Amino acid sequence: MTPVQRAVADAHRREWATVLAATVRVTRDLDLAEECVQDAYVAALDAWTRGGVPSRPGAWLTTAARHNALDALRRARTLRSKLHLLVEPEESGAEVPGGPVGEDGRAVPGDRLRLAFLCCHPALAIEARVALTLRLVCGLTVPDIARAFLVSETTMAARITRAKKKIAAARVPFRMPGPEELPERLDGVLTVIHLLFTTGHTAPAGPALTKDDIAGRALDLARMLHGLMPEQREVRGLLALLLANHARRATRTAADGRLLPLEEQDRSAWDREAITEAHELVLTALPGGAPGRFALQAAIASLHATAPTYAGTDWEQILVLYDALLEAWPSPVVALNRAVAVAMVRGPAAALAEVEALEGDGRLARHHYLPAIKADLLRRQGRNAEAATAYERALALAGNDAERAFLAGRLAETAPP
């Protein structure tokens, strides 16, 4: 990769959402804005090769994309007759095309936030929100998104197109939610970012345990959101949660791709700078009233990340946090994760009773972590035959090759000769 190609790639990763948001303000048309921004990046390759990389690549790209948009609008007979409006102008204080933007024509910070809220609108199904966020806010290509979710490019392209059409049909405004809408809408944005990260942190299927590009994009998005809304405790909590977990990425698999459970990971190789940043964010996210689910999850992740060893982890405090999390966010997945802490504090038999209760509940019937955790608890009690049955069930449900290999290894250890 040449220095110019690297500069364009860096600008794509860091500036895509900003450039696109500024261009949407001009076009009020997501498809047209995307075309103009893509053309700007293509033009940058040639212009920067001839004239050098500008000191402010994002500003250069925004100006180029705006020029492309204005040229496209000029070619139209009238704005309203030529544009297929995908987003509705703001109701008051409306900004006309080419209206207020930041210095040098870049999007004001709120524009990136508006774009994120637009992509995560509750009118869309969660899968569509994730796909649209990856495409428009993170700037991933359709083939990349399709590969991440193991669907064909045609399927993913159709999913994104349907999402845009639904936004158009719903006349979703390109604006920040009002104060009365913000709590629910913000939670939706945070949920999508967390889901993106989870998909990258442990891929639901495929040969590799992780998809670091997806996890990294989610982390970038969380950091951007924190930069724009630093006063929101749950935003701090989400960023802390992602930082604490991402800090372990280099140690979660062995050199041969083999999954390494937490107790086998080399803690000296964890990203200490990220862990410190996460811990400081947790300290500011917890006080000030009942903490939210992301702040509580971040506190748990931070305790894991700062523990000197697996056995030396403050499991009692983690169990207290899980109790609070279960109250704030009643979820069978939380209850299952809590059972791991119960096992460390009260023993595997106590935890097994809770896992079997969840098994009877049925909501996690397709969740491979339930039989995997059950198998581990049985194995630790020497009940190998029952453990083997549970491992076989987990193997039947798991889709990731690294996780399947790990489960197969455990099964071999516990299966009768």
pLDDT tens-digit readout, 60-111: 999 999 999 988 887 765 545 544 555 554 443 333 333 344 444 544 456 7
pTM, two decimal places: 0.79
Tally helices (H) and strands (E) across the chain. Answer: 19, 0
Burial (CB < 10 A; 0-12, 13-18, 19+), residue 52, is exposed
- Which of 199-208, 327-336, 344-353 is least confident? 199-208
Over the stretch 323-332, which tens digit does the pLDDT of each residue have? Answer: 999 999 999 9
Indicate the range of 12-21, 164-173, 322-331, 359-368 predicted with least confidence: 164-173
Which segment of 197-206, 292-301, 356-365 scores lowest on mean pLDDT?
197-206
Which pLDDT tens digit goes with each residue over 237-290?
999 999 999 999 999 999 888 899 999 999 999 999 999 999 999 999 999 899
Q: How do residues 213-246 score in pLDDT, each as one tens digit? A: 889 888 988 998 898 889 999 999 999 999 999 9
How high does pLDDT run on average in the chain? Answer: 86
Q: How many whole angstroms separate alpha carbon 47 and alpha carbon 53?
A: 8
d(CA 113, CA 119): 10
Contacts of 234 (CB under 8 A, 6+ apart): 186, 187, 190, 285, 292, 293, 294, 295
Joined tokens for residue 166: 């639904």
DSSP states of 233-278: HHHHHHHHHHHHHHTTGGGSB-TTS-B--GGGS-GGGS-HHHHHHH
Distance CA 93, CA 385 (A): 69
7-11: long-range contacts, CB 8 A cutoff, minimum separation 24: 7/48, 7/53, 7/57, 8/41, 8/44, 8/45, 8/48, 8/57, 10/57, 11/41, 11/44, 11/57, 11/58, 11/61
Angle at the Cα of 205 from the Cα atoms of 201 and 208, rounded to 5 degrees: 60
Q: Tell me the chain's radius of gyration from C-alpha atoms.
A: 24
Burial readout 315-349 (b: 16 or more C-beta within 10 A, e: otherwise): beebbebbebbbebeeebebbbbbbbbbbbeeebe
Residue 377 has pLDDT above 80, yes or no: yes
| Residue given tokens 């995560």 in the structure block | 120
> What is the pLDDT at residue 100?
41
CA distance 32 to 63: 15
Whether residue 172 has pLDDT greater than 80: no
Res 44 pLDDT > 50: yes
Residues 6+ apart with CB under 8 A from 272: 247
